[in-house]
Structure 1
Amino acid sequence: MSKIDLRKKIVQFTLEKKQLTGVTARVGIVLDISGSMRNLYARGVVQEVVERILAVASKFDDNGVLDVWVYDNEFSRMESVTERDFGDYVKRHILNNRSIHKFGFNNEPPVMEDVIRKYTKEEKKDKTPVFIIFINDGGVVRATKKVIKSAAVQPIFWQFVGIGNSDFEVLEGLDNMTGRVVDNADFVHLDRIEEVTDEELYDRLLNEFPHWLKAAKDKRILQP
């Protein structure tokens, strides 16, 4: 059995445990490519993250598609990835792509606005809930909170994942952020994500998503 198939089995077990079987969702990943991330790209950690999250998309999305964005002080909406073409995805589509701005400073709101634009304007006829995994290694700009707050009425859940040991003050304050129709974002800190087992990763990534699904349906953000 391939590694992706093994991971899909672990995802399935996690879905059953969290009563998420039968849930369909579009899945996207946003990857920090600011200067402090350079070593994680070079060591293949980011490629491994993409492969691990692809297993989630394969269970949630009917087409098994994982949408991808990268960002530093600029952003790029990338070609989506599937089980057919995930090998060396980061090297082929990101690191070797000269049109991608890399290793600058981080600025989250523009890429978040593009995520919102894709799912709520360009593809607004699709009412499927959206699960976004947002990988960041610290220093999120404070304006990120404003975007999250305004996006609370949208069918998008933001799962932020902090890696490394930098400053996550903005993301750590998400749970206490008021003024939203529903709590549409969560933050987990995984210092060395490459050392976290698949079981723990999926358990933590999918911890708050079920609560958001229920709340969003209660508020008619999602169809009951």
Structure 2
Amino acid sequence: MEEKSLSTIDLRKKLVQITLEKKQLTHLTARVGLVLDISGSMRHLYNNGTVQEVVERILAVACKFDDNASLDVWVYDSEFSRLSPATEADFHDYVQKQIISNRSIHKFGYNNEPPVMKDVIKKYTKEEVSSLPVFLVFINDGGVLKSIKKVITEAAVQPIFWQFVGIGHSDFEVLKKLDTMEGRIVDNANFIHIDDIAAISDETLYNLLLNEFPQWIKEATELRILRT
């Protein structure tokens, strides 16, 4: 089982590399983070292995981008937890070991995004200050609080790009408006909607995830949010 998983992550890393070449991002080093919705409506996606698959797919991005090839992970419902990073050495059964079996994690309640978002900002801009950009993937299945707009607007001056991924059949009214939000020095967030994330190919997923990141890198560098 583990040998098969390792070969799968190697294949995904190759697909990420192809995507990075297309986007002209092969030179880029970045920190990579993943925020996972663990509200009640997500329960079945944790139990059926979909969330574990998401971790593995985003870990492949971290392995190509990240300076230490690790993926920072958070989960949240009404509360949030900052977890141990996922790496190639320990990603197998990561969700079962680090999340589902972890009794200290609050699970399957209602969703509240701003606290976990503020912790992401705290980690990357206060606790672990770096000149590297942050590529932050945020998985949610609907019902995002409107107050995330204030957090994203205030975070536009920070070296963090927020890639929101809506999964399932909600309308994602708040997230759909991210690209047209005013009052920011730079567009620092993007939203993609994927009905069934388990059904989409790795290649398609990576192309979608990394679609707007290159433009943000360019604009953030010009505005000296990123310093080369």
- Give the TM-score taking structure 2 as reference length: 0.97
**Pairing 1:81–2:86 present:** yes
Aligned to 1:90: 95
Q: Distance in 1 between matches of 2:126 and 2:63?
A: 24
Aligned to 1:195: 199
* 1:176-191 equivalence runs, <5 A: 176-191=180-195
Equivalent position to 2:76, from 65, 71, 80: 71
Measure how far apart 1:136 and its partner are: 0.1
Aligned to 1:174: 178
Unmatched tracts of structure 1, length 5 or more = none
Q: Distance in 2 between matches of 1:179 and 1:215?
A: 16
**Pairing 1:112–2:120 present:** no
1:19-53 alpha-carbon deviations (Å, 9 max, x no partner): 00110000000000000000000000000000000
* 1:1-224 equivalence runs, <5 A: 2-124=7-129, 126-224=130-228
Q: Distance in 1 between matches of 2:115 and 2:63?
A: 27
Alpha-carbon RMSD: 0.7
Measure how far apart 1:216 and its partner are: 0.4
Measure how far apart 1:62 and its partner are: 2.1
Percent identical among aligned pairs is 70
Q: Distance in 2 between matches of 1:17 and 1:167?
A: 31
Measure how far apart 1:127 and its partner are: 1.1
What secondary structure, in the 3-state scheme, does the structure 1 residue paired with 2:198 have?
Answer: helix
Q: Distance in 1 between matches of 2:22 and 2:159?
A: 23
Q: Distance in 2 between matches of 1:200 and 1:90?
A: 23
Q: Distance in 1 between matches of 2:54 and 2:104?
A: 22
Measure how far apart 1:135 and its partner are: 0.2
Q: Distance in 1 between matches of 2:13 and 2:52?
A: 17
Unmatched tracts of structure 2, length 5 or more = 1-5
Aligned to 2:3: none
Number of residue equivalences: 223
What secondary structure, in the 3-state scheme, does the structure 2 residue paired with 1:187 have?
Answer: strand
Q: Distance in 1 between matches of 2:102 and 2:171?
A: 29
- Give the TM-score taking structure 1 as reference length: 0.99
Runs of 4+ in 1 over 2 A off after TM superposition: none
* 2:17 partner amino acid: Q
Q: Distance in 2 between matches of 1:159 and 1:62?
A: 20
